[in-house]
Structure 1
Amino acid sequence: MAPPATPPRRKRRRTVFRRGSSESLNEQVGIDTSRPIFVTGLPRSGTTLVEHILASHSAVADGGELNIVQHIAVAAGGVSGADIERYVAGGGTMDALAELYLHLLAERMGPTGRIVDKTIDASRCLGLIASALPDAPLIWMQRDPLDCAWSCFRTFFIHGVAWSYDLADIARHFMLEDGLRAFWEDRLGERLLVVPYAELVEAPDVWTRRILDHCGLAEEAAAFAPHQTDRVVATASALQVRRPINRDGLNVAAPYRSHLQPFIDAYRPA
């Protein structure tokens, strides 16, 4: 008999994450895991802006693209629910995964303070993050697909983002991320705060309060004027975050709609 077919990678990210499975795994974690704040979403969707808002708070520092979640995935043997079940069945503990992440975080960022982890493609590890770090706030940025596609297509990503070179590839990548976001919204409920970029720039005070509240942070004036915060920003949004939050990023793709037709033809919203 032939072995069962291996699910595509996008499906393996979600395999065996039944409703309540992350919460059940959370009960096995006995340490405080509230230190990291995860901000994910597509490139050019506003993740740097949210990181800048949070890092303007006196209790928070920006970790940027830490890339330490992958080490947790290696320890667990993967990022799917099935991988985690095998890890636990083999004697692994969720406490050990949480302690490993926090240890690596302390090595990079020192022993104290809240840290924003804006690792690229953290969305692919969200089930593992939610299961091993039950107190960590989770934020997902969402931007108008056409504006985001145009911004990705016109941006030179210094580390190389191969799917951003072709408009049809951008559409396919966006649809994969749409599916992940919809899945985790359903599974995680209020634990995952989805922040619409357009609403954030239209009502920054409202959404800054929501973001701070979601992260368990007291309101501070600096978080409402993040453009005044002096810190190093190394992403493509470095210039934008130096200005007051504004609407300039809305409808940026409109003049180029005809050139974006390959994306429009290929993209089907989740």
Structure 2
Amino acid sequence: MNRDPRAAGLAADIAEALQIGARALRDGKPAQAEALFKQACQRAPTHPEPLRYLALVELHTRRAPRAIATLERALALAPEDALLHADLGTARAACGEFESALTSWRRACALDPDQPLPWFNLGRNLQQLGDTQGAIDALERAVLLAPELLPARVLLGDALAHAGRFDAATRSYREALRVQPASGDAWRGLSNIKTTPLGDADLLTLRAQLARSGTAPSDRVAMGHALGKAEEDRGALAAALAAFTAANALQERLTPWRPDAFEAFVAQSLKATAALPDPIDPELGHEIIFIVGLPRSGSTLIEQILASHPEVEAASELTDLGIVIQRESVRRQQPYPQWVPRASAADWQRLGQEYLTRTVRWRSQRPRMTDKQPDNWKHAGILRAMLPGATVIETRRDPRETAWSCFKQQFYSQPHFANTMEHIALYLQRCEQAMDSYRSRDPAHIHLHRLEDLLAAPEPRIRALLEDCGLTFDPACLSPHAGARSVRTASAAQVRQPLRAATAQALAYGALLDPLWSLLKLPLSAL
């Protein structure tokens, strides 16, 4: 049997034990694997490879801080080992130490530039942190080194699309489909370039792939959405609706969404945030512009307009507000929003400062920033205590267009409300109900902007938007499509088109969407 060159210097039985442990880990037996790796570490305390394997099982069992310590012990023995640095980057990222993780991956790339995986990890995380060009450079290197590395091909396509290089993105996605015609991620990427229709050949390929057995359910969902878009592009609206419905039904079976839990959360949030302590510093968070509401309601366009202003940096969809709240829930050992009535003004000040610290990198070039996480509407009620100086822009669109656009869009995060028409209607109504209440409590900081109004009269509505954000008017905001920034959402192609009057895509379906129209017209108590 050929021995792994990394096991050089290990006794044959120790090297074999590592391989047995690796197989146990792959077979879902982490306890057995860990016991073997620990024995190997004890028998070969000066060799880094047993420690690396031990760190892998610690990562696998969600003990990333321990994995970091183990890998640092291994690096003390072999400081120039590229794979150890790469694994350390993964462990640091799992702990949320993203800047340190990037340092580790860059070190791995420098030590062994011919290995594709460190370049892939570097590119993937640079993209998540908003460095799209850096991500493109790293992912192009990964693809050059490993042309058949499917995830790198897809992520390169995503990065190119976010940078507005849609022809190059299309080529990357199609190269991924050449490797794997049933790659759901590649089909999703192509579908998200909404300004470019899928062709007849795509339609035939999608139908053929969906007819095959054995395809992973996640790929079937993505291909179903792509098929729906292909049918819609050619005007076969009944077939498009059938494809979207089948894809969403499969996703709902895989990851069912709980409307009862959602309704309880909204009701609790409204009650818990009705009375909050006066803030210690009323200006805390004045740098932040939150853009909230339903997905597909125009939030990316609003962010693109604001990002055209010389004082504003667009951070896109950040998870930091939710993370700060979740960490406080863990600290208090009580779920949000149950602990909200017991939080003092000092607590809210501390949490606001934590958010500002986490997001400071987005204000290194410009003094203001946007946080366009649509789900942040669920936390809008606490902002007048936590970040009382922040501006909140709620985006709304014709509910028919919002609902239909959500239904036909595949979302990355699951479970998700957009897999059934009933859930979409419920979510939309509860969101608007909650935001109306929050706005009545803090009208100076929470402002409603409607997409159709903006598109019908761009200049006056853009002036009003800037005024709501405390920004002086800048003519560049009238041409948001000219901005060169990275757009990391499904609307990346659409917001690079000049502003034009709204188009009623949902209404083209006519009676086919009568069930959705009925749900949207129902009073709250009837759902």
Residue number among 186, 190, 193 corresponding to 2:447 in the alignment: 193
Indicate yes or no: 2:460 matched with 1:206.
Answer: yes
Matches within 5 A, 1:114-193: 114-160=368-414, 162-193=416-447
- Structure 1, unpaired ranges of 5+: 1-6
Give the distance between the partners of 1:60 and 1:54, measured in 2 at CA. 6
How does the TM-score come out when normalised to structure 2?
Answer: 0.46
Pick which of 108-117 and 223-232 moved more.
108-117
Other structure's SS at 2:508 match? helix
Counterpart of 2:278, as a letter, is L
RMSD across aligned positions (CA): 2.2
Aligned to 1:83: 339
The structure with the greater share of residues assigned to helix is 2
Indicate yes or no: 2:488 matched with 1:234.
Answer: yes
Give the distance between the partners of 2:284 and 2:441, measured in 1 at CA. 22
| Residues 57-84 of structure 1 deviation map (CA, whole Å, 9 limit, x = unaligned) | 111111111110013313543654x633
Structure with greater contact order relative to length (CA < 8 Å, sep ≥ 6): 1
- Say if 1:185 and 1:192, in contact at 8 Å, map to a contact too: yes
Distance 1:171 1:257, change over 3 A: farther
- Say if 1:75 and 1:97, in contact at 8 Å, map to a contact too: no
Other structure's SS at 2:271 match? coil
Matches within 5 A, 1:104-123: 104-107=358-361, 110=364, 113-123=367-377
Residue number among 264, 269, 288 corresponding to 1:8 in the alignment: 264
Indicate yes or no: 2:315 matched with 1:63.
Answer: yes
**1:145 positional shift:** 0.6
Matches within 5 A, 1:45-60: 45-60=297-312
**1:113 positional shift:** 2.0
Aligned to 1:216: 470
**1:263 positional shift:** 1.8
| Residues 179-217 of structure 1 deviation map (CA, whole Å, 9 limit, x = unaligned) | 112211222224211001110100111111111111111
Aligned to 1:4: none
Aligned to 1:254: 507
Other structure's SS at 2:402 match? helix
Indicate yes or no: 2:324 matched with 1:72.
Answer: yes
Other structure's SS at 2:289 match? strand
Indicate yes or no: 2:294 matched with 1:39.
Answer: no
Residue number among 25, 30, 36 corresponding to 2:278 in the alignment: 25
**1:128 positional shift:** 1.8
Give the distance between the partners of 2:365 and 2:343, measured in 1 at CA. 28
Distance 1:269 1:189, change over 3 A: farther
| Residues 151-183 of structure 1 deviation map (CA, whole Å, 9 limit, x = unaligned) | 111222244563212112211111211211221
- Say if 2:272 and 2:340, in contact at 8 Å, map to a contact too: no
| Residues 194-248 of structure 1 deviation map (CA, whole Å, 9 limit, x = unaligned) | 001110100111111111111111111111111111111121211111111111x
**1:54 positional shift:** 0.4
Give the distance between the partners of 1:175 and 1:45, measured in 2 at CA. 14
Counterpart of 2:371, as a letter, is D
The count of corresponding residues between Structure 1 and Structure 2 is: 256
Pick which of 197-206 and 106-115 moved more.
106-115
Counterpart of 1:252, as a letter, is Q
Give the distance between the partners of 1:187 and 1:31, measured in 2 at CA. 17
- Say if 2:303 and 2:370, in contact at 8 Å, map to a contact too: yes
- Say if 1:143 and 1:198, in contact at 8 Å, map to a contact too: yes
Other structure's SS at 1:260 match? helix
Give the distance between the partners of 1:109 and 1:57, measured in 2 at CA. 14
Distance 1:111 1:86, change over 3 A: farther
- Say if 2:297 and 2:451, in contact at 8 Å, map to a contact too: yes
Other structure's SS at 1:37 match? strand
Give the distance between the partners of 1:11 and 1:72, measured in 2 at CA. 21
How does the TM-score come out when normalised to structure 1?
Answer: 0.86
Q: What percentage of aligned pairs have identical amino acids?
A: 27
The structure with the greater share of residues assigned to strand is 1
- Say if 2:312 and 2:366, in contact at 8 Å, map to a contact too: no
Ranges of 4+ aligned residues in structure 1 off by more than 3 Å = 75-80, 107-112, 158-161
Give the distance between the partners of 1:190 and 1:42, measured in 2 at CA. 22
**1:87 positional shift:** 2.3
Counterpart of 2:446, as a letter, is L
**1:25 positional shift:** 2.5
Other structure's SS at 1:189 match? coil
Counterpart of 1:253, as a letter, is A
Indicate yes or no: 2:94 matched with 1:94.
Answer: no
- Say if 2:417 and 2:424, in contact at 8 Å, map to a contact too: yes
